[in-house]
Amino acid sequence: MRAIVAAPDTPEGFRLTEVPNPVPGPGQVLVEVRHAAVNAGEIRHLGVFPAGSVLGHDAAGYVARGATDGSGPREGERVVAFGAGAWARLAVFDVDSVAVVPAVVDLAEVAALPMVGLTALRTLRTSGALLGRRVLITGASGGVGRVAVQLARHGGAYVVAAVGSAARGAGLAALGADEVVVGLDAITDPVDVVLETVGGPSLVTAWGLLAPGGVLHSIGWASGEPAAFPVNSTFAPGPARTLRSFGDATAAGPDLAVLADLVARGVLRAPVGWRGSWQRLGEAADALRGRRVAGKVVLDLD
């Protein structure tokens, strides 16, 4: 079959080539992938993947073979999936990492959701009730940010979306942001929840904006810069503030079903910022590195 694999010997770091078909285990399904999504981190960190390994994690398509143990979706069902090896005509996923897609939902749209959707949904869920609370989302123009803005607004929060430039803030108000700000310096009122995707000085500033009892989720480090906290800046009287990491994408299936249902009901719009043939991955990767994509890249496996 055709697949995009890690190729550290090439300038791009990947190549589209022929590889053996994957073989599913008893608790896995074989999926014919029609659309796959590209996460910015997958492009930034191509060097960590062994040569020849099939890349990608987000996919949508049709079940080509159901699990032999009888669990999970059946052959022919439309599914969205999360797991390694997604950038291939055929991919294997654990049954607890796939979800059936409602008939009214475009597979290309839902393919953009797994990694960013799981991150936004799970971090907001662990933040507690959002109704009436102030939620700050940094790097809000990215895939995680665009999903988080919509989910936080749906939960009743007052949403502050922070971006790197005015141009990158386009469309965020329509998605539900109450405020769209360039940088964090203009924010004066404390916030209760932060989804922090930039890292470096942005993480430090966001921590200083956190209200007593608030929680900051560090879920990305797009800046690549270190975070230097001033002396005593982590101490404050009153209810404790919390800094949390996030990286839990296990057993994704039930939450993928939640996200697909939200799309079907018109509550959530998938953050597709670029779409094209998987043969144009080099072009898409350059656009991601140059921060010219608002949201996610979706590849059509034509």
Average pLDDT (133-146) is 97
pLDDT at 236: 86
Q: If pLDDT is split at 50, 70 and 90, which confidence band does 47 have?
A: confident
pLDDT at 203: 98
CATH 3.40.50.720 boundaries in the chain: 116-245
- For residue 199, the Cα-to-chain-centroid distance in whole angstroms is 16
Task: Check whether 241 has a pLDDT greater than 90.
Answer: yes
Average pLDDT (129-135) is 97
Cite the beta strand spans of 77-150 per DSSP E: 78-82, 90-94, 98-100, 134-137
CATH 3.90.180.10 boundaries in the chain: 2-112+270-300
d(CA 134, CA 272): 26
Q: If pLDDT is split at 50, 70 and 90, which confidence band does 246 have?
A: confident
Q: What pTM was computed for the model?
A: 0.95
Tokens describing residue 45: 């960190």
**Parallel, antiparallel, or unpaired for β 28-38 and 296-300?**
antiparallel
192: phi then psi, degrees, rounded to nearest 5: -95, -30
User: What's the DSSP call for residue 267?
Assistant: S
d(CA 78, CA 58): 14
| CATH fit for domain 116-245, picks 3.20.20.210, 3.40.50.720, 3.30.70.580, 1.10.150.120 | 3.40.50.720
User: What's the DSSP call for residue 192?
Assistant: E
| CATH fit for domain 2-112+270-300, picks 3.90.180.10, 3.40.50.300, 3.40.50.11540, 3.30.420.40 | 3.90.180.10
